[in-house]
Structures are given as structure tokens and as C-alpha cells.
């Protein structure tokens, strides 16, 4: 009987060990599975066509589209991650990035020495000029940068365009969160002109009656746009730059720009 008792205890012990091993293996597989379904959280301000903007898709649902969004999708795909988009006002993007609530920012973000102190910045993935938008009747009136002196100028808050306007002698700035609100201020006469990034200005001019792009050309040293990443995250920075290298080399970014521009004027 003693031998049978010892044998029974050994069987029970072996069963317990095997069950524990099975649980460990299952837990390990579960962890690997969660790693495979990691998320990449993108912060943007979706009032910036053709970079990022809202449309009603074929199902009648609200969707954020634009060539920045297409770039973000490619970055996520190369990382094997699911892309999650957070839409917010432009001026809060870098705070959200610094806090870790978003992983990267792609939103017509210009490089500058001040921003370089706060965040990591990718290589420049797209270059665009700035534009001055006015009411049709004032197109010739505001054809030079000198003609903007002392005017009421609408700009997006915390943008490179705001910095440009601050350098214009006597300019009175109206800094707003959304480009669409700036256009409303322009049409209502509350501002004389607006300084807006080129492709964005072109999109609004095609969609809004009564406004035009003048011949005045703002100049800035911070031409081009970059992906913003939290300071110190060199691994993500390298991954982003690798994807950008591919997209620039194979012509995908120019294709994304053309497609988004067409979509923004439908």
C-alpha cells in the first residue's frame, strides 16, 4: 500500500508540473500575441487639406484622410502595428507627444530650432511654399510682402505661419486653432489676409468662393515638413526614417499628394 501511495503522489506531482508548464506556455504565447497587435498612435490636426482632413466615405461614415495619413499607414505597416489616429488642435500636438499620449505627430509640421529642443524630428519628407490668401477684390492690393505691413493677418496658432507674420512690421495677428476659422475671419473682413501653407491654401481657394492666393510670397528658413517623435525615442525615429526613405525613393509621397489633393476638392 505504501508503494501505491508513493506512486499516486508522484503521478499527482507530475500532473501539476505539466499543467503549470502548459499555463506558462499559454501566457508566453498570449504576450507574443499582444506584441504582434501593438498600436502606433498618431497625433494630427485634421483641418489641413490635403495633408489631413475629414470626408464622408462610401459608407457615409466620417473618415480622416490625406497624404500625411497615408504616410502614417505605411510607417505602421512597416512596424507591424495597428494605426490609431487622434485628432486634436494643432497647438496641443507637441504637448501630447511629450506626455506620451501619442507616439508621433504628422501634421504639416515644420522643423525649427525651437522644436528640435523639444522633440525628435525625422528627415524632411515634403517641401512646400507659404501663401498669402486674400479676398478677390484685394488680390492686387496685397501683391508684395511690404503691402502686408500693418495689416490684420490670420494665422494658425503655434504654426510656422504665425512666426512669419510676427516678423511683418506692424502686423496685428489673429491666431486661431483651425484653418477653416481663419478663412471665415477673412471672408467676414475681420482679417485682411491669411498666411497659409501652399497646398492647404490652394485647397481652400478651390473650395471657398471669394478668396484667392496673391503674388506675395512669404519666405522662411524652415521650409519642408517632418514627422515629430518623442525626445529620446531613437528606435522609432530610425523606423520612421527608413519608411520615409522608401516612400521618397519609389515616388509614393508625390502620388499620395496628388491623390489627396484631388480628394480634397470633391
Q: What is the pLDDT of residues 162-173, one digit of tens each?
A: 999 999 999 999
pLDDT of 241 strictly over 70: yes
Q: Read off the pTM.
A: 0.69
**Pick from 78, 30, 70: nearest CA to 235:** 78
**Terminal alpha carbon distance of the chain:** 87
Alpha-carbon distance of 164 to 197, in angstroms, equals: 11
The model's pLDDT over 246-255, given as tens digits with 9 standing for 90+, comes to: 999 999 998 9
Note the pLDDT of residue 30. Answer: 30
Note the pLDDT of residue 34. Answer: 39
Residue 141: band (very low, low, confident or very high) from pLDDT cuts 50, 70, 90: very high
Alpha-carbon distance of 235 to 120, in angstroms, equals: 11
pLDDT of 235 strictly over 90: yes
Note the pLDDT of residue 159. Answer: 87
Of 44 and 159, more confident: 44
For residue 132, count other CB atoms closer than 10 A to its CB. 29
pLDDT of 110 strictly over 90: no
**pLDDT exceeding 70 applies to what percent of the chain?**
84
Strands 193-197 and 62-65 turn out to be unpaired
The model's pLDDT over 50-94, given as tens digits with 9 standing for 90+, comes to: 999 999 988 999 999 999 999 999 999 999 999 999 999 999 999
144-160 burial by CB neighbour count: b if 16+ within 10 A, else e?
eeebbeebbbbbbbbbb
The model's pLDDT over 165-223, given as tens digits with 9 standing for 90+, comes to: 999 999 999 999 899 999 999 999 999 999 998 888 988 998 899 999 999 999 776 56
pLDDT of 3 strictly over 60: no
91-122 burial by CB neighbour count: b if 16+ within 10 A, else e?
bebbebbeeeebbbbbbbbbbbeebeeebbbb
Alpha-carbon distance of 67 to 255, in angstroms, equals: 9
Alpha-carbon distance of 210 to 133, in angstroms, equals: 10
Mean model confidence pLDDT for the chain: 87
> Which sign does the torsion angle of CA 161, 162, 164, 168 carry?
positive
Place of cell 507627444: 97
Burial (CB count <10 Å: 0-12, 13-18, 19+), residue 57: exposed
**pLDDT exceeding 90 applies to what percent of the chain?**
69
Amino acid at each position: 500500500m505504501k508503494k501505491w501511495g508513493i506512486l499516486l503522489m508522484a503521478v499527482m506531482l507530475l500532473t501539476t508540473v505539466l499543467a503549470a508548464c502548459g499555463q506558462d506556455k499559454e501566457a508566453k504565447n498570449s504576450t507574443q500575441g499582444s506584441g504582434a497587435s501593438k498600436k502606433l498612435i498618431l497625433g494630427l490636426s485634421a483641418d489641413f487639406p490635403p495633408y489631413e482632413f475629414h470626408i464622408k466615405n462610401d459608407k457615409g461614415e466620417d473618415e480622416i484622410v490625406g497624404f500625411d495619413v497615408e504616410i502614417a499607414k505605411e510607417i505602421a505597416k512597416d512596424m507591424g502595428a495597428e494605426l490609431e489616429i487622434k485628432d486634436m488642435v494643432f497647438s496641443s500636438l507637441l504637448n501630447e507627444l511629450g506626455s506620451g499620449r501619442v507616439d508621433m505627430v504628422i501634421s504639416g509640421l515644420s522643423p525649427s530650432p525651437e522644436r528640435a529642443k523639444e522633440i525628435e524630428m525625422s528627415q524632411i519628407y515634403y517641401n512646400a511654399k507659404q501663401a498669402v490668401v486674400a479676398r478677390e477684390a484685394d488680390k492686387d492690393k496685397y501683391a508684395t510682402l511690404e503691402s502686408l505691413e500693418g495689416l490684420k493677418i490670420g494665422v494658425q496658432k503655434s504654426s510656422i505661419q504665425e512666426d512669419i507674420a510676427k516678423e511683418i512690421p506692424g502686423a496685428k495677428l489673429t491666431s486661431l486653432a483651425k484653418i477653416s476659422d481663419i478663412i471665415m475671419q477673412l471672408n467676414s473682413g475681420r482679417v485682411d489676409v491669411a498666411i497659409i501653407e501652399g497646398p492647404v491654401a490652394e485647397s481652400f481657394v478651390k473650395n471657398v468662393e471669394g478668396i484667392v492666393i496673391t503674388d506675395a510670397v512669404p519666405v522662411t528658413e524652415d521650409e519642408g515638413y517632418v514627422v515629430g517623435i518623442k525626445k529620446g525615442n531613437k528606435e522609432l525615429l530610425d523606423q520612421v526614417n527608413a519608411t520615409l526613405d522608401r516612400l521618397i525613393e519609389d515616388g509614393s509621397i508625390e502620388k499620395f499628394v496628388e491623390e489627396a489633393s484631388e480628394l480634397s476638392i470633391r
